[in-house]
Amino acid sequence: MRQWQRRGIRGFAVFYVNKDVQVVKIDLLLANIMLSKYKSRSQFKEYIKAFNEMMYYMGEEILEYFYEDVMCYAKSKPVLCRFFYSPENERVVYVMAAAVHTGIIKAIAKRLEKMGWKKKLLIEFTSLRQKTR
């Protein structure tokens, strides 16, 4: 088991996108986020749990959409994204992103906002380091 697979979620974001899936994938590539074809759900329990909890809190706003989990990498760090598709026109309406490394989600959010993605939520957890006297 890799070290990052044992860590908890350090960053989480929800974006309102409302774009065609191919445009979303191009936006991610332009933001230096590589999509992976690997889709093993069993190794990403922390991600799935965080996504499901956020879906619960967002309620009906997001529950009407069907979704797909996509593994991505930003600077070789894993980022799991969940694309939410509209049942009417199959456009990606929302994207959730989660990472186990601090700083990744914040950096991604800055790049994606420049491409018209609207940030609805961004949470990052960091450790506070105290200086010893």
What is the DSSP track for 48-103? Answer: HHHHHHHHHHHTHHHHTSEEEEEEEEETTEEEEEEEEE-TTT--EEEEEEEESSTT
Considering the domain boundaries, does residue 102 fall inside one? yes
Considering the domain boundaries, does residue 44 fall inside one? yes
pTM above 0.75, yes or no: yes
Residue with tokens 């190794």: 43
- Cβ neighbors of 6 (< 8 A, separation 6 or more) are none
Considering the domain boundaries, does residue 90 fall inside one? yes
- Number of structural domains (the chain) is 1
For CA atoms 87, 31, 116, 94, the dihedral sign is positive
CB 79 within 8 A of CB 98: yes
Considering the domain boundaries, does residue 55 fall inside one? yes
From first to last of its 133 residues, the chain has per-residue pLDDT tens of: 444 444 678 899 999 999 999 999 999 999 999 998 766 566 677 778 888 888 888 887 788 899 998 889 998 898 999 999 998 888 999 999 999 888 999 999 999 999 999 999 999 887 767 666 6
Considering the domain boundaries, does residue 111 fall inside one? yes
Q: Which domain holds residue 117?
A: 8-124
